[in-house]
Amino acid sequence: MTADTSVKEDIEKGGSTPVAHHDVHHLKDAAVTTILASSAEERALLWRQDIRIIPLCAAIYFLCNLDRSNIGNARILNSTTKNDMQTELGMNPIQFNVALMIFLIGYFAFEVPSNIMLKKMRPSRWIAFLMLTWGAITIGLGGTHNFSQVTAVRFLLGAFEAGLFPGLVYYLTFWYKSNERSVRVALILASASLAGAFGGAIAYGIGHMNRAAGLSGWRWLFIIEGIPSCLSAFAVWFLLPDYPERASWLSVKEKELAAQRLLIEGSKGEGRGVRWSDAKETLTDWRLYGHYLIYFAVSLPFSSLSLFSPSIVAGLGYKDLQAQLMTVPPWAVAYVAQVSVSWSGDHFNARGLHCAGAAFVGSIAFLASAAAPADAFTGRYVCLIIGTAGAFASIPPMLGWLTSNMWSTAATGLAVAINVSIGAGLGQIPGVWIYKSDEAARGYPTGHGVNCAMLFVVSIGAVCLRLLYGRRNKRILGEANGQQNVRLYVL
């Protein structure tokens, strides 16, 4: 889609509010604001939305990541007594990695259909269903006894977790303007970092339950961490608001203001679903493949660090439960970095450069770790902290950038689903294999080297996209002949 494409049905009517009756051709020429909410009424509305939406979405994504990445903790939990998951189930390193990979196959296959279902069934209903299902599947992992069972259950877990993250990114476009999304995506995505931090702390505590009631600690880990997702699904069903036009807690005036704010820059609850014309236009919009490429690249460090942080830390001289505890600092620092970089990217309308800068810092940290001597434990631990922070901080502005440059409900939902499907599905599969168990004594040079290369790709790709959008904006302004009301690409 280009900036001067005819609006047609892209300006979708938002329900029963008076805003729905604005002239479409007038709206086509409406200016796109890149300034944060200025009026007292708009700031009050944003605050009410934030309180209702962001903590709940962050909690949902926290539970999702806790349930998907805890297998990394289970792999080494109570390993000194041979009660870890890999030893008890008789799985060799290749089989364990296959079990990790099969999750991503299910994740890739079901992301696009899940995003379509979110729009058809309403976000609160669909997300609650997904939570209840993946929570039950996580509990089921605690009852597995061999490689085949683990593989089958992990595939199902991937299939039902697939729709959550692209669904949440899409969901925010129903509530927030383009210059408001990155920092909110960051607050949600940063809960994955918290899940990494808390996951290690929780595993440390649960490790002391080893053999309680005859169950190994890793089985208790899956059972205890799956229960909150099941219980929270009922709260999400009733508490997660679907669309502004249906929010009973908003006054008529607030609903009208919400519709006015998002008439140009947001998706609409009453907007039409995906049609073939939307799919064709989105699939042939070649600039989007630049976004898909950099998300594919960042997904390798995302998946490898999410799954192998306990193993990486264990290779730095920390053992068993101590290794679980030492996974906390990298994720805590990553949380702060994600929020800070995303806020700055939104504030300065420079998402591309912030994405590139964070990825470049991360790539240098992984390069240093790969080149450092194997026994340089302190230095490589510091590099792990910086590398994790850089990799994860580049993702929220990257996603906010994509959604900000999609200008219809149908196209946004499809593009986000494709982006995350290619990245979080296909892109994470190589991340399962790059940290080789036989390289632990050498400091995992292959894993760190690949992550360095992928983050460098992110950095270069983001700069190229930024230059592309800058050139297109200059062309649009040149063709506008001095008119102020034109829509520009977000940078």
Q: Which stretches does DSSP call E strand in 265-331?
A: none
Decide if 232 contacts 373 (C-beta within 8 A): no
Decide if 47 contacts 280 (C-beta within 8 A): no
DSSP letters of 446-476?
HHHHHHHHHHHHHHHHHHHHHHHHHHHHHHH
pLDDT of 436: 92
* Residue 242 DSSP SS3: coil
H, E, C per residue of 146-194: CHHHHHHHHHHHHHHHCCHHHHHHHHHCCCCCHHHHHHHHHHHHHHHHH
Decide if 168 contacts 61 (C-beta within 8 A): yes
DSSP 79: G
Q: Which residue's entry shows tokens 């692209």?
A: 166
* Residue 432 DSSP SS3: coil
Decide if 67 contacts 157 (C-beta within 8 A): yes
SS3 content of the chain, % helix, strand, coil (to 5): 75, 0, 25
CATH number for the domain whose boundaries are 37-479:
1.20.1250.20
Residues 459 and 455: their CA atoms lie apart, in Å, by: 6
Amino acid (one-letter) located at 276: W
- In the chain (491 residues long), the average pLDDT of successive 10-residue segments reads 39 36 34 48 93 96 94 92 95 93 90 82 93 97 97 96 87 84 82 87 94 96 97 96 90 89 67 66 89 95 91 86 89 92 89 96 97 93 96 91 77 80 82 92 94 98 96 89 77 88
Per-residue buried b or exposed e for 341-361, using 16+ beta carbons within 10 Å of the residue's own CB: bbbbbbeebbbbbbbbbbbbb
Task: Sketch the domain layout of the chain as residue ranges.
Answer: 37-479
Q: Which residues contact 371 (CB under 8 A, 6 or more apart)?
A: none
Positive or negative, the Cα torsion across 76, 82, 85, 89?
positive
Positive or negative, the Cα torsion across 32, 34, 40, 41?
positive
Residue 395 is encoded by which pair of tokens? 């993702």
Give the bridge partners for 215, in sequence order.
212
